[in-house]
Amino acid sequence: MTLRRPATRFLAATLLATAAGLAGAAGPAPATAAATTADGKEHAIFAVSDDDTKRWNLTLGNIGNAIEGLGADSADIELVVYGPGIAMLRKDSPVADRIAEAQKKGVHVYACQNSMRGYHLEQADLAPGVGIVPSGVVELIRRQHAGYAYVRS
C-alpha cells in the first residue's frame, strides 16, 4: 500500500504538468480578443505629466494614430494632464493648435485640478474645451478600473 501513494502522487503531478504544458502551448489570446464594451467602442486614456514639446507631439501623434486605426466613431479617447505638463494646456501653449485638432476628432482633454492649483492656473488660462478632473492620477486609476487602456507616451 505504501507504494501506491507515491505512484498516485507521481501520476497526478505528471497529469498536472502535461495539462499546464498544453494550456501554455496555445499561447496568450490575441489582442483583438478584447471584450467589447457596452457602447461598442475602444476606450483609451493617455497621460502627459511633463512640459516637453517633443513628448507632447509624440503623445498627440499617438492619439491621432489610435483614432485613425480604430476609427473616430469606434474610439473613446481621453487625455489627462497633470504635473508640469499642465502648462501645455494654456491657451498660448506651443501645442494648443494640436490639442484643438484632437478635440475636434472627439478626444476629451482633462486638466488635473491639483496641478492647476500648484501651478496657479485657472480655467480661464486653459485652452477652450479643456475639462477639469479633481486629480489626474485618480482619473487614470478610475478609467483603468473601468476598462480603459492606459497609454503613456
* Bridge partners (DSSP) listed for residue 77: 44
Query: Does pTM surpass 0.85?
Result: no
Show the domains of the chain with their CATH numbers: 39-152 (3.40.1260.10)
What is each CA distance from 28 to 25, 31, 42, in whole angstroms?
9, 9, 20
**What pLDDT, in 10s, does the model give residues 21-36?**
444 444 444 344 343 4
Task: Specify the pLDDT at position 38.
Answer: 76
What is each CA distance from 75 to 20, 94, 138, in whole angstroms?
37, 26, 22
Q: Is the dihedral of CA 59, 136, 134, 78 positive or negative?
A: positive
Task: Specify the pLDDT at position 83.
Answer: 98
C-alpha cell at 6: 507515491
With beta carbons less than 8 A apart as the criterion, state whether 75 and 41 touch: yes
Task: Specify the pLDDT at position 11.
Answer: 44
CA angle at 104 for the pair 150 and 120, rounded to the nearest 5°: 70
**What pLDDT, in 10s, does the model give residues 38-90?**
788 999 999 999 999 999 999 999 999 999 999 999 999 999 999 999 999 99
Q: Name the DSSP letter for residue 81.
A: E
